[in-house]
Amino acid sequence: MKITVKEPQGKKSRQQVGVFHKKTIMFLSLRSENTLFGMGNPLLDISAVVDKDFLDKYGLQPNGVILAEDKHKELFDELVQRNKVEYHAGGSTQNSVKIAQWMLQKPHKVATFFGCIGTDRFGEILKKKADEAHVDAHYYQQNEEPTGTCAACITGDNRSLVANLAAANCYKKEKHLDLDSNWELVEKAKVYYIAGFFLTVSPESIFKVAKHASDNNKIFGLNLSAPFISQFFKEPLMKVMPYVDILFGNETEAATFAKELGFGTDDIAEIAKKTQNLPKENTKRQRIVVFTQGKDDTVATVGEKVTMFPVLDIDQNDIVDTNGAGDAFVGGFLSALVQEHSLEECIRAGHYAANVIIRRVGCTFPEKPDFH
């Protein structure tokens, strides 16, 4: 980015202007393009209002969250054909980097995103939606599986989610991450974030990015994402753990993780401390552990202590949809992290973003944040 420095008028202001521009240049460099890197399962979120007959036809619960089976194959096309639909770029990691970009506003494309999609209409819509969110998405496109989708079937205040990972499951390290032009974008970043869900798709890609971050004293963040990750993908999770600088999760995921590792406690502060003390490759950075607990305090390791951070108050009647709250918290947190703000400020930004998102349907947001 080119910055023009105007020659100050008069001697007394020369020094002041110099200091001002030094700060401005530093501020801009912290928020340059491709500073934040995310990789995960991209899904096109398709939201539409449906009736009870539609739910019954596909065996859906009003507030269910399920993975699509064969009987749901026609659901996505029918949803699009018979209803006015809204499309959004979704999937856990993509949601988080999208929210980080929204919190930062300018410049565009601070956030980079890698993931796999199909060569189809939904893939084209997803590319357009990521572009509208000003995220620099570089998708690996293949034609064996269609673009991953998540249908949000809305009835009244309820929202039934049906996810079809499809192409998202097909990411190939050697066909995308290893390409020089793509790896250059990885090298350009200073902060990395991947949701644990991606451990089910390409653990070798996660490992390569995590090791790069560690070897270069950059920041690598990972999310526990869901209890089943700790239960059934414990081996790849623990292989990448020594490279994790910031671990995110919620209270349920933390409890499952502790059980799987035999921590012998269900006290969330103790779990955070024991997790912080797990073996770590880059000893220049002490691991930070951040566990959210819905409406209860967020728990975080701050140096040698474990600290509780109260969330923002909200009237229960203002809560519309809590599904994207975790992704939003991470997005807010990352937006402050790339600006090298303190841990306290990162958590405050995370709480703000989550508070905005739970007032709306899906992981959506107003045009601009009101965060200071």
Interval 88-126: pLDDT, tens: 889 999 999 999 999 999 899 999 999 999 999 999 999
In a domain, 159, yes or no: no
- Known catalytic residues? 327
In a domain, 154, yes or no: no
Strand arrangement, sheet containing 219-223: 136-142, 111-118, 36-39, 191-195, 219-223, 246-250, 288-293, 296-302, 305-309
In a domain, 338, yes or no: yes
Give me the half-sphere count of Cα atoms (radius 13 Å) on the Cβ side of residue 354: 25
Give me the half-sphere count of Cα atoms (radius 13 Å) on the Cβ side of residue 143: 1
Residue 291: give its domain's CATH number.
3.40.1190.20
Q: If you count DSSP H runs as helices and E runs as strands, how many of each does the chain have, helices first? A: 13, 14
Lowest model confidence (mean pLDDT) among 130-139, 189-198, 312-321, 342-351: 312-321
Burial 42-58 (b: 16+ CB within 10 A, else e): bbbbbbbebeeebbeeb
Per the structure, the complete domain to which residue 242 belongs is given by 34-42+90-147+165-358
Interval 87-97: pLDDT, tens: 988 999 999 99
Nearest to 169 by CA among 125, 210, 203, 130: 203
In terms of pLDDT, which residue wins out, 17 or 313? Answer: 313
Contact of 116 with 171, CB cutoff 8 Å:
yes
3-state secondary structure of 167: helix
3-state secondary structure of 152: strand
Averaged pLDDT score across all residues of the chain:
88
In a domain, 72, yes or no: no
In a domain, 179, yes or no: yes
In a domain, 5, yes or no: no
The residue to which tokens 């350009």 are assigned: 188
Number of domain units in the chain: 1
In a domain, 351, yes or no: yes
The set of residues, in sequence order, having a beta carbon less than 8 Å from that of 117 and lying 6+ positions away, is 42, 123, 126, 127, 139, 140, 141, 147, 148, 167, 168
- Helix or strand holding residue 262 (H, E): none
> How large is the average pLDDT for residues 79-92?
86
Q: pTM for this structure?
A: 0.87
